[in-house]
Every structure is written in structure tokens, then in C-alpha cells.
Structure 1
Amino acid sequence: RGNGAVLKSVASGEKPYGILVDFMAMNAKKKGSPVEFVFPSEGVPAVTEPVAIMKTARNVDGAKKFVDFILSDDGQKLALSMGYLPARASVGRPEWLPEGVKVKVMSFDTKAIVAKTDADKAKFSELFGG
């Protein structure tokens, strides 16, 4: 199920735990929801907001300027203002992230992940009733 459904089922007590995006749980807790969020010690997967320039782009110069903005301090501050963890730690940290918490991002092999996605989803559903 999606993040919203997972949060609702945990916050309501229907489920004792769930796996979801960090900021959703932290914001819910801040609003009084009886949830706790744990960053696994082995790390967390990165859920990115990808940006790319397609080879079929009609305005490559404009696209390059957009990508440059997204990756700039101002662009990362915009992401931060939206509640995301910025790619540049120098721009700050979101309000929902407790002081002193270091987020360890796990390394990954994209091709291996894509090759195993269907099997991993099936195993997850088997284990957790997904």
C-alpha cells in the first residue's frame, strides 16, 4: 500500500508498524499522531526526486538552467522548504528531522534492484501482508 495508507493504518492502531517515507511519519508525530519513526542502523534507501534532460528536449539550454537551479543552493533550499532532505547538507535540515539524527543512505546497484523488483515485492507481501 502507499505511504498514506500505511501511515493511516499505523496511526489508527490497525497495524503495529509500517514502512514509509520519513517526513510523513515525522510530520504526523508532530501533529500528535501516536507514532515513532526509526531510521534503521544499516541505512535507508534513497528516495530521490530525479531530474534529467531528455535527448528529445526542444529547449536544452532552458533544461540545463533548470537542472542547474535544482542542484544550486537556492534549488536545494526550495526542496528543504517542501520538507525534503536536501542533497546539499549545507543548506540546512528539515524541521521534522530530530537534532543529532544522521541519515545513512545505503549504497545500491540500480540494475540489480530493477532485476529483483517483482520478486522482492512478492517476498515483502508474503512477509508483511503488503
Structure 2
Amino acid sequence: ALAENGATAAGGNGGVLKAVATGEKAYGMLVDFMAIREKAKGAPVEFVFPAEGVSAVTEPVGILKTAKNVEAAKKFVDFLLSEEGQKVAAKMGYIPARNGVALPEGYPARETIKVLPLDAAAAVKNSEADLKTFSGIFGTN
């Protein structure tokens, strides 16, 4: 239905934000924090969380088995997941992973954001076919 309504694949969040903010496009799909952050700076955009739900986009962290300083890496991960670390994430515009840490300004209440379920194994298994389907619909490479 998106393709039938003239939607195109722009290649990245930055291009989508620019196209909407300049009025080149009436709407676009991108990660929430970019649009909400730019609106706070005065950009003429509005972010809408679809009632059907959104995918969860995480900011993953991990410690490689080849890490040279595992203890420092563990402390860093502990900090990122701590209340203080999650407040830093919120200041950067991300939805904190910890309940009890306030969302950044401009976000709706956490409980109103519906996250779509994800079967990670199926997503990995189907990724190549899904990319081909997407490319077929939107004519991307």
C-alpha cells in the first residue's frame, strides 16, 4: 500500500528527515529520536508512532571475546545499563531501556508506544527473501 501511495525508499534516515523538513515530501519513515530531536530544535516536523506498533531499534552493546581489558569493558556496560547511563541515553534522545528513567522530551508516555513482536530467528532466516521482496516493491538494490 505504501508503494501504491507513492512512497519511495530514500536510503537513510538523514535523507528522509531532510526531505520532510524541507517540504520536498509530506511524510517519511525514520527512527523516532531524529525527528523528535529536530522538532525540538525548530524543524517543521512531527513524529507519529503508528497505532499498529513500531519495531524496536536498539543500541546494542557487547564485549568481544578478543577484548584487551574485559574488566573495564564490563564496567562500561554496567554503566550504560545503570540508571545514570540510561539518563545519558535519554539526553541523547533515545528511549531508555530501564523503566523509571524518564523518556526524552517530546515522546509520548512509554506505555502508549506499542512495540511489535519479533521472532528474531525467523527474521534472520527470512532476511534475504524479505530484502528481495522490498527491492521488488520499491525498486531498490
Aligned match of 1:77 in 71, 77, 87?
87
Provide structure 1 residue ranges, at least 5 long, that are not aligned to the other structure.
none
Deviates more, 1:96-105 or 1:54-63: 96-105
In structure 2, C-alpha distance between the alignment counterparts of 1:53 and 1:106, rounded to whole Å: 28
Structure 1 counterpart SS, 2:75: helix
Aligned match of 2:77 in 67, 72, 92?
67
Q: Does 1:105 align with 2:129?
A: no
Q: Does 1:55 align with 2:82?
A: no
Structure 1 counterpart SS, 2:66: coil
In structure 2, C-alpha distance between the alignment counterparts of 1:127 and 1:13, rounded to whole Å: 24
Identical positions, percent: 60
In structure 2, C-alpha distance between the alignment counterparts of 1:56 and 1:100, rounded to whole Å: 37
In structure 2, C-alpha distance between the alignment counterparts of 1:100 and 1:47, rounded to whole Å: 15
| Matched residue type, 2:115 | V
Q: Does 1:8 align with 2:18?
A: yes
Give the superposed CA RMSD. Answer: 2.2
Aligned residue pairs total: 130
